[in-house]
């Protein structure tokens, strides 16, 4: 059967080329333009793009939204850089951690680390807005990362008169959850193979819930195991295990049990995957607390410091060449005396 031609009444839509709805619908059947022929334009309404370009006398600036793969590669080639991979299931606080670190720079250096620029300022401001008073929300909120894409937030920082770039990868939490069900789902997560630091998020709020506690404790090692099996950490990156939403933990009557559960997760990961990572550390954070009595960004300064630590010295491994031939398994016979 011949393929059906994909059409859309919105002339800006490129769904026929890239499969993505420009209106943002996951189910294209819900889009009011999908499947309709574009309306004819009057010649008087046609806009001469060349004429518009000739009339523009300003300066065209690149956007400052999160980076795709090619632009992220260019950032990596300019300065000494660190790639940060953040692993967290849906609503574990991944976007809040990224936004929280950027927000800490609004008041000045974070300890001895100074902000030195970013090519994704607009993107960072967008994810910070809903957690600020200016958004007029009752509670801090972070937008969900869309499935099927990975984007990068960029920060340049200065420490001890040395400039360094941070590229922080952001991928949908649902995709990490799927690794726990099927390890092969980790194969496409190329950003983790390039990461210098892996940051695993443990949702403190869900740990306080009797119904969610077991899922949280069981999912973390399964996700890491799936990625290890698919060679995601061959570079032996440093590993940070981070408890998020500690303000919910502090306010919970189950606080002591949650703290014990988190330490159990940390020790379990350390013992099971010690050979797959470099330096290992754990942190407790409140990136975007609901309680106004808890300091916003608590614990994130220590996480940022860990991200910037130099990688451990590479450990050499002696490899023995094997061609697979039967001849290679033959050994010389010891001479018999007498």
- Write out pLDDT tens, residues 52-82: 556 667 777 677 888 888 888 888 888 889 9
The reported pTM is 0.71
- Which of 114-118, 185-189, 211-215 has the weakest average pLDDT? 185-189
Give the chain's mean pLDDT.
81
Contact 100, 56 (CB under 8 A): no
Q: What percent of the chain has pLDDT over 70?
A: 75
Tokens found for residue 85: 């991979």
Report how far residue 234's alpha carbon sits from residue 192's, in angstroms, rounded to the nearest whole number. Answer: 10
Calculate the alpha carbon distances from 118 to 151, 154, 164, 201, 205 in Å: 14, 6, 11, 24, 31
Give pLDDT tens digits for 284-328.
999 888 877 788 899 999 999 999 998 666 555 455 555 666 655
The strand pairing partners of 165, in sequence order, are 81, 156
Tokens found for residue 168: 């922080």
Among all chains, which residue has been given the structure tokens 């984007």? 151
- In angstroms, how far is CA 84 from the centroid of its own chain? 7
How many C-beta atoms lie closer than 10 Å to residue 275's C-beta?
8
Q: Note the pLDDT of residue 176.
A: 79
Tokens found for residue 292: 């106004």
At residue 136 the predicted structure's pLDDT band, cuts being 50, 70 and 90, is very low
Q: Note the pLDDT of residue 141.
A: 44
H-state helical runs in the chain: 15-18, 49-55, 69-78, 94-104, 121-129, 173-181, 190-193, 204-207, 213-229, 246-251, 255-272, 300-307
Q: What's 65's DSSP letter? A: S
Average pLDDT for residues 34-38, to the nearest whole number? Answer: 76
Angle between helices 94-104 and 121-129 in degrees, nearest 10 = 110
């Amino acid at each position: 059967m011949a393929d059906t031609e994909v059409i859309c009444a919105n002339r800006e839509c490129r769904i026929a080329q890239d499969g993505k709805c420009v209106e943002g619908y996951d189910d294209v059947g819900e889009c009011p333009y999908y499947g309709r022929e574009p309306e004819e334009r009057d010649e008087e309404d046609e806009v001469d793009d060349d004429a518009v370009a000739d009339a523009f006398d300003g300066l065209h600036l690149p956007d400052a939204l999160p980076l795709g793969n090619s632009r992220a590669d260019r950032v990596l080639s300019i300065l000494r850089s660190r790639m940060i991979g953040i692993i967290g299931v849906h609503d574990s606080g991944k976007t809040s951690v990224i936004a929280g670190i950027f927000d800490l720079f609004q008041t000045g250096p974070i300890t001895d680390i100074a902000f030195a620029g970013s090519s994704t300022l607009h993107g960072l401001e967008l994810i910070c807005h809903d957690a600020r008073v200016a958004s007029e929300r009752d509670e801090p909120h972070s937008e969900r990362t869309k499935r099927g894409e990975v984007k990068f937030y960029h920060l340049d920082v200065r420490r001890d008169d040395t400039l360094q770039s941070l590229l922080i990868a952001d991928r949908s939490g649902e995709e990490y959850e799927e690794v726990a069900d099927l390890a092969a789902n980790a194969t496409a997560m190329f950003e983790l193979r390039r990461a210098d630091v892996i940051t695993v998020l443990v949702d403190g709020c869900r740990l306080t819930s009797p119904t969610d506690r077991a899922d949280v404790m069981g999912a973390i090692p399964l996700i890491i195991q799936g990625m290890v099996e698919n060679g995601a950490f061959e570079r032996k990156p440093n590993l940070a295990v981070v408890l998020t939403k500690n303000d919910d933990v502090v306010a919970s009557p189950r606080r002591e049990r949650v703290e014990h559960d988190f330490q159990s997760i940390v020790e379990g990961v350390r013992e099971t995957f010690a050979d797959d990572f470099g330096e290992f550390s754990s942190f407790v954070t409140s990136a975007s607390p609901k309680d106004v009595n808890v300091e916003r960004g608590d614990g994130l300064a220590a996480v940022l410091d860990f991200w910037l630590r130099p990688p451990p010295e590479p450990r050499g491994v002696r490899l023995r060449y094997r061609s697979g031939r039967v001849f290679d398994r033959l050994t010389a016979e010891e001479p018999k005396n007498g």
